[in-house]
Structure 1
Amino acid sequence: MTKTATIAGILFDKDGTLLDYARSWVPVNRELARIAARGDEVLARRLLVAGGMDPDSGYVTPDSLLAAGNTVEIAEGMVAAGAPFTVGELSVIFDGLFANSAALAVAVTDLAVFFETLGTRGYRLGVASSDNEASIRATADRFGFSGRLDYVAGYDSGFGTKPEPGMVLGFCAATGLEPHQVAVVGDNNHDLHMGRNAGAGLTVAVLTGTGSRETLAAASDYCLNDITELMALMPGVGSHGQ
């Protein structure tokens, strides 16, 4: 039996995993910094740097604040770097910005077909993101896979934040699965460490976000170019394929 044959549920990160990070989030990061700087271009550049993004190239450092932080963590980082707001004020503003950004997001593949295929193969499916729950649901609605989701968890859903194990354990509670039956798929170490901390049976890294093979190797069982390669890796629940 292969290790993947024990897997009956797959829990996905959203940004950088289901969505192409650079195409979906670099423009949002620029707007986030502009808002947090109240339009001060010099300060906005400084805020982007503090968040881990090069203001000119758009490159985002793996596992940096903008790559892996939740709304409150990003707000805290922006305030610490000089944004003239309170953390509470920025958190509310950022949550609204992130929810609206679902309309501009770029999917890695046809997510409706992708989730339908995995669902018909018998997998229970969920999304766990450092974004807010409203943003996840808006994304699922926009790309047509909400009907295939057994579970949705954002940083504000009450399951804790990454890399804590709570979102994985919540998925298990919602589906009746044990952690060893769950594969966690993500683009940064917060996702993979969450899976490892929960005792997940498999951690799978993808390269459509901010991580690289080098940064993701230690915490992942597999490192794929993108989620479409899961189709070969996950032939079906209980499969004893090669």
Structure 2
Amino acid sequence: MSLDRFGEIAGILFDKDGTLIRYDESWGPVNREAARIAAAGRPHLELPLLKAAGMDPLSGHTLADSLFAAGNAAEIAAGFVAAGSPLAVDDLTELLDALFVRATDYAVPVTDLRVLFSALKGRGLKLGIASSDNELSIRQTMTRFDITEYVDLVAGYDSGFGSKPEPGMVLGFCAATGLPPARIAMIGDNNHDMMMGAGAGALLKIGVLTGTGTRESLEPHADICLSSIAALTTLLPPA
């Protein structure tokens, strides 16, 4: 891919988990707690539930494109119930959504997000965040890392734009910013992000290696893979 295409970018839509924050460090404790909640007082269920959702209970690593990596609270709840959780899907979804809001306390950023977002905004770029997490969790993360003023659109699975890998979040970002998809870069650590960008006709689909996705899993679907979003400032042209 020609790096000249970075000069055509007018807006960047970021995934959150694994893209803005490091996945395993941030979500390992949260995923274990999610399995504990889903087990509902049956400790023997916790390890099978973790594995069913894609997390290795020994290493703490979560598999690319697994339920934990790419699913929203409702999808994870349904997967837990299918794997043996005795709770109702709706009740478990509510419990998981509340947990994921609290998960902001565990978030480990991949870089100084305020410095990065300020620099990108200074280049005249529109910025958005699109996550399979709920909108409140995204906003809590923005507040914690002091980037709210730089974000033009927040899209969670419950924000009315649909869920990944459907194109709705990208199209919502375009509607909010007035930019066509052909001027948008979609950045994420999972193939749901790449598929969402492709479905909307985004200019670039950029994979990052700070989450659950690997170079091998992302390269077939991404236009380029970066070690992290910190590399953006060296690839984009000056303001």
TM-score > 0.5, shorter chain as reference: yes
**Which residues of 2 match residues 123-142 of structure 1 at below 5 A?**
123-142=125-144
What is the one-letter code of the residue matched to 1:68? A
Alignment pair present for 1:209 and 2:180:
no
Segments of 5+ residues of structure 2 without an aligned counterpart are none
Query: Structure 2: how far apart are the matches of 1:119 and 1:39?
Result: 47
The CA deviation at 1:34 is 0.5
Equivalent pair of 2:9/2:183 in contact (CA under 8 Å): yes
Deviations 1:3-39 (A, max 9, x none): 1111100000000000000100011000000111023
Instruction: Please name the residue that 1:199 is paired with.
Output: 201
Segments of 5+ residues of structure 1 without an aligned counterpart are 238-242
Deviations 1:116-153 (A, max 9, x none): 00000110000000000000000000000011000000
Q: Secondary structure at the match of 1:46?
A: helix
Q: Give aligned pairs, total.
A: 237
Q: TM-score normalized by structure 2?
A: 0.97
Q: TM-score normalized by structure 1?
A: 0.96
**Which residues of 2 match residues 92-241 of structure 1 at below 5 A?**
92-236=94-238
The CA deviation at 1:41 is 2.3
Deviations 1:185-231 (A, max 9, x none): 00000001100010000010000000110000011111011110111
Structure 1 residue ranges, 4+ long, deviating more than 3 angstroms after superposition: none
What is the one-letter code of the residue matched to 2:106? L
The CA deviation at 1:104 is 1.8
Name which of structure 1's ranges 172-181 and 217-226 shifts more when overlaid on structure 2.
Answer: 217-226
Q: Compared with structure 1, are the counterparts of its residues 15 and 166 closer, same or farther at alpha carbon in structure 2 (3 Å cutoff)?
A: same
Query: Structure 2: how far apart are the matches of 1:59 and 1:121?
Result: 36
Equivalent pair of 1:119/1:125 in contact (CA under 8 Å): yes
What is the one-letter code of the residue matched to 1:134? L
Query: Structure 2: how far apart are the matches of 1:60 and 1:236?
Result: 36
Instruction: Please name the residue that 1:240 is paired with.
Output: none
Query: Structure 1: how far apart are the matches of 2:155 and 2:207?
Result: 19
Deviations 1:97-116 (A, max 9, x none): 00111122111111111100
Query: Structure 1: how far apart are the matches of 2:190 and 2:238?
Result: 25
Equivalent pair of 2:19/2:211 in contact (CA under 8 Å): yes
Report the aligned-residue RMSD.
Answer: 1.0
Query: Structure 2: how far apart are the matches of 1:185 and 1:35?
Result: 31
